[in-house]
Structure 1
């Protein structure tokens, strides 16, 4: 498990690590630029997370085929996922080019400098949407065949390029916020090219197969709906915070980017679990799948406790890296307690999400996630401003959301139905 989780951790952490550096670089341009990045980046992250079934769904299907001894079939899942990624990526690009202005104004709470900054960033950064989705598909099939070191190398190449270009383009070159978007696209282009080269080297047909595409969309349907509700909930939270004030929005951007970064770090165990569970069930070994679930729960909990302690200890050192605005720092300190406190719960939730995805039990995950969002996250976020709870109210909603999901996945894994879920059966 650790041999799979370690390279998965690098892959998962690379993009959010770049976003954290990006946030720190842009934060030194001022609160308007930071708010613009929060709005534009939130919209692009929404699209990417909405379509992350290209990675997770492909992993589950490829792992089942690999577990049954059909490597060619596992790679073929990657080919079909790549075609799907290109089609969906072009649709996302067109959407943002047409509606960047209205969407950023809606999220920022009206016309103004923050909305304008977000629009300029989004129009450039969305050019990388097809590239980003192709990389998700590539990650998916390589995880399924337990080859996680190649994705690690590919993502590191692209992220390293972005990390070098971002501060150069933003400050010395003088592109400002747009420089951040250009660096983002350049890194995504390098990574996508490497993933395409990897699948081209395999001895499989590149012909699009409608039956396979439909089968991928079946498992993608539940993951898509789950991700849609999840991302809408986060967009609602960002919109609520934007109406509370610029300082609150800047602080929320810092805290939520750290949350996403740590979520993906903890998700390394989920990737390992998804691959191991999928291959175990593909080989008709349910006992091995259940053993994986037990181990990954302990690893997720232990890592979450460690992460929480590190966050609390390093708060005085980390926050000033993102901004020197006293108002933003004061608001970020409020969110920090919630950010740290939720990590042990999140460690278990994300790990068991991977177990259920590997088993193809995505319908249950969809229901639990939507229920937790509608009962906990969204109502408390919407109530935060009128009741005067501010940023603390939004983050209380996020904490309740994670806690409700924790109860749901623990109950499911304790039973046997997830071991017989049909969601990843090959078409």
Structure 2
């Protein structure tokens, strides 16, 4: 039986409800106030244009729609072209050369951006030497894993970066985690195990080597986030600079490795068998990935990690759906159930990191639902939300 409206105006719970409703008002209004606050502080005038559009000229709603559309559009293209490339006969043996071309184009794009914006390097080269190594590990191993894994399996594993992050934090820093984080990781582990077993049963080219490679890529990805954020805050550096030097130096590492192993000329010969089709798709692959990164970083800056993670999670779900529709591959209902378990784990992780913002909003929804069932008037504080 729902509680009467008077309960929320008087009684022992009144003060706590009032506080949470007020916090909910602040959280729900923060979405609309972000761009206005940036403009008031002068931050909006300093923002980098995105596809020629200065975000401070748009309303908060239009900013959100623009960022969401950009993330979905460019990453859908990115995922489609990536899988199309690896469906070409022989491409799986040249995944690292594909990564080399991707690094070269990312470096060119970011170099042009820095020149147009007249930016200079702020982070020391010594920092970038290690950051480039992690970038190479993340991107190179991720592409290499597609030589062994089904594309949806790779996407699923990349959605579970929390697992190596938590393990590394416990071992290296001795950090303690609460029950929400532990539950999220357990759900992800169960979902990954179930998805992997389903994939091994229906996918004839399944190889556990791919699982090892993608896990190493996740470990590098888990390290790069914290290291990159620390360097950018310490030296007040922009995203474009980090992309240029991370991928530029990483290009040098990878080129030296391919030349040293004798695989460089072999890959060049392979790509020259059909250069127009292959290199045009590589260019589209790199351009869509680069623009997708720019939209994600802009969404994080404007709306915070919660909104960005929600949109990118939706993007991964749509990418997997597109993969099953466009590229013929076996399907089992176990994919769906295990994917839902992983999605629950990801959602629980997002909730654990944003409880201060999410709890008041959930309370507002519950109050409205309860009042409708009891057909009693809403409290004044709730009505104003």
Whether TM exceeds 0.5 here: the answer is no
Question: Highest CA radius of gyration, 1 or 2?
Answer: 2
Greater relative CO (CA pairs within 8 A, separation 6+): 2
Using the size of structure 1 for normalisation, the TM-score is: 0.35
Using the size of structure 2 for normalisation, the TM-score is: 0.38
